[in-house]
Structure 1
C-alpha cells in the first residue's frame, strides 16, 4: 500500500469526471477547482479531512448548482468530524429553491423591536414591515421569509426570537454564542426561517427538482440515480432544509481545532 499523501490539487482533479457528468450542471469545473484549491490552501484542518469527502463535496457543487465563489457566498467547504462537507448559506438555500422552478423569489428579513411590524394570520395572511432607519433598531424580536409562487400569490413564515433561540440552543456553536451565531447572527436567523418556510412550499414540482440537484445520500459512492435510492434521496434533499445543527466555515474550523487539541 502506498504511503504517498495526495495533495489538494490531485484530490480536486479526481472529481472532474463525475463533476462534469452531472446532468444539467452549469458550473465550470475549472473555476470551482480554483475556488476549492484556494480554500484548502488557506485551511490546513480542511485539507487534512478525508480525501474522498473533499472529492464528493466538490461534486456536490455540481449537484446543487452552488458555486464556491467566495464573492457570492452561496456555499462553503467546511470540516466536520474528519469529513469535508458542502455547507449552503441561506442565500444558497434560496438559490436551490428558486432554481427548482416552483417559486419566483424568496427573501428573508430580521425584525427589530423599534421597526414597525404587523403580521396577520387567518384567511388573509399578510406582513407589513418598515425597518427603523433613523436610529437604534433595538433588539431582534423575530425573522420572516417570503416566497413568491409561480402561480401567483405568496407564502411566508415568521419565527419569534424564542423560536430561533430554541434552534440556536441545539447547535454547539449556538450554545457557546460563537462562530457565525456570533459574527453573522442575522444571517443565521434568516437561514433558520428559510428552512422552516421550505416545509410549507408547494412540493409537486419542487421536491423532484431538488432531488435531482441534491443527490447527497450516497456521497462516498458518487452520483446514483437508481430508482431504489430515490426515496432516500428525496428525504435527504428535504433534510437540507431541516432545522438541524448548522455548520459554517468558522465554527467548523473551531471544532476541528478543539478536536486536534483534545
Structure 2
C-alpha cells in the first residue's frame, strides 16, 4: 500500500504511549499520578529489600514505569487503587525478584480490579534457591508417550521426551475440551529438588490432584470470568507453578519469603481460596482509618469488605487441611455505645488477647508493646550479630501476631543491612576493607552473607580500579576517563568520595 497523508489521521488522536488525546489529558494525568507515587516508594522499597543488597530500586522502577506506560488499563486500576499498586511493587522488594521481562520472573498485571504482582514458576524457583532451600529445581510435565521411569522419592526419575513436541490442551477432567498433543495424554507433573548436600527430593502430582486444586481456585470457580483465569490463559505454566506451591513446604529449611509470596498469590491474587481473615492490605487500611477517626473524635469506619466463609482452604496447587473444620469463630459486632469508643482496629489474626484493647503503634497491625520489644531485640542483636537466630526466634519464641512477626523480621534485616552499609562506607573512606571483611566472616553462612560477600567484592574491585584511574589522571592532568568511570559507580558512598577527590584536584 502506498503512503499518503490520509494514513496519518489514524495517529492524530494518540500520543506515543497509546493514550487518547480526546480524553482532555486525563490518561496522561493518571500516568503522572502513578509515576509520582512510584517515586515516593523508594525508601519503603529499600527497607523491604534490606536482605538483598543487589536489588536496585532504580532498575525496578524503570521496568514498572515501562509496564504502566504501555497499559492504560493498568494505569487506571493503579489510580483507582494506589494501595494495591504499592503493595504489588513492595512485594517485589520482599521477594527479591525482578520485573525484567527477559528473566520472566514477575509481572505487574491487572487482577480482580487491582494491580497485582504475578510471580511465575521461574520466579518461585529462583526464590527457593536464593533462600537456600535447595541448589536447583526441575519441574517437568509427563505425558503418556514419554519414556518415563520413577526411581522413588530420593532419586531423579529417568525421563526422555521430545521437548519440541506440541503438548496440546490441558485436559485434567472429562469436562475439559481441547486436542491431545503430540506427546499423548497428560499424566502428571513432578518436582525434582536438588539439595545443597547433593541429595534429590522428588515429588509427584497426579492429574486428579491438579484438577482438585484448579477446581477450588476462585479464578476457576467464576465460570463467567473463567476466560481470564491464569488456568485458561497460561495452563502449563500454572501446572508447574502449582506443583512448586504444593511441594515447597515439604523440603527442610527456612522459607519465609517463599511462604509470604505464595500466601500473597493465593489470597490477594485470587489464584486460590480467600479465607475469613482480612488480607494485609485490607487490615492496614481499616486500622489506619479507625486510628484517624479516633484522632478526629469521629465515628470509626465500618469494615465493609466481606470475605467468604472457609470451604476447605484449597489453594491453586496447594491443598491445606484445617485442624478442625467444624470450629469457626465469629467476631462479635460492636453496639453503638461500644463503637463510639473504639480507638483502633481489632487485633489482627494470631494476636494474643487478654480481654483488653491494647494500644496500637504507628505500624499497621503492630501493638505498641510489641514494637518496643522488637526495638530492644534489634539493639541486642547488633552486638551479637546473631541475626539468623533472632529472625528464627521472633517467629516462634514470642507472642507476636503475624503483622508483628513481619515487622520484626523486616526490622532485623534492615538493621543488618544498615550495619553492612556503614562498615562498607567506612571501608571506602579509608580504602581499607579489613573491618567489613571481619564483619562478614562473623556472620553465619546463608543467603545474606553470600550476596553481601559478592557485593563487597564488587565495591572493593571498583575502589581499586578507581584508585588506579585517579592516580593516572593526577599524573596526566586528564580527568575524562575518571569522570566517565565515576558516573557508572552504583555504590553512592564510593561515588561521593571520588567526586569530592575529583573536585579537590580540579580546584588545586
TM-score range, shorter chain: 0.7 to 0.9
Gaps of 5+ in 1: 235-262
Write 1 or 2 for the structure with the bigger share of strand: 1
Between 1:140-149 and 1:40-49, the stretch displaced more is 40-49
State the alpha-carbon separation in 2 of the partners of residues 67 and 30 from structure 1.
12
With structure 2 as the length reference, what TM-score do the two structures score?
0.40
Partner of residue 80, structure 1:
111
Partner of residue 128, structure 1:
158
> Is residue 12 from structure 1 mapped to residue 38 from structure 2 by the alignment?
yes
Partner of residue 184, structure 1:
234
Task: Judge conservation of contact 1:18–1:222 (CA < 8 Å) in 2.
Answer: no
**TM-fit CA distance, 1:202:** 0.2
1:143-154, aligned counterparts within 5 Å? Answer: 143-154=189-200
Partner of residue 253, structure 1:
none
The 3-state SS of whatever aligns with 1:168 is helix
1:111-122, aligned counterparts within 5 Å? Answer: 111-121=142-152
State the alpha-carbon separation in 2 of the partners of residues 163 and 214 from structure 1.
18
Partner of residue 137, structure 2:
106
Task: Judge conservation of contact 2:152–2:202 (CA < 8 Å) in 1.
Answer: no
1:19-98, aligned counterparts within 5 Å? Answer: 19-21=45-47, 22-25=49-52, 26-47=54-75, 48-49=77-78, 50-98=81-129
Superposed CA deviations along residues 7-49 of structure 1, whole A, max 9, x for unmatched, are 1211211111111223123221111111111212233332223
Matched residues, number: 228
State the alpha-carbon separation in 1 of the partners of residues 205 and 263 from structure 2.
29
Structure with bigger RCO (C-alpha 8 Å, 6+ apart): 1
Matching residue within 204, 217, 230 for 1:171: 217
Task: Judge conservation of contact 2:106–2:118 (CA < 8 Å) in 1.
Answer: yes
Relative to structure 1, the CA distance from residue 232 to residue 211 in structure 2 (aligned partners, 3 Å threshold; closer, same or farther) is: farther
With structure 1 as the length reference, what TM-score do the two structures score?
0.73
The 3-state SS of whatever aligns with 1:76 is strand
Partner of residue 321, structure 2:
none
The 3-state SS of whatever aligns with 1:85 is strand
> What's the RMSD between the two structures over aligned residues?
3.3
**TM-fit CA distance, 1:222:** 7.9
Relative to structure 1, the CA distance from residue 168 to residue 70 in structure 2 (aligned partners, 3 Å threshold; closer, same or farther) is: same
Write 1 or 2 for the structure with the bigger share of helix: 2
Superposed CA deviations along residues 204-255 of structure 1, whole A, max 9, x for unmatched, are xx23565798997745568989552458659xxxxxxxxxxxxxxxxxxxxx
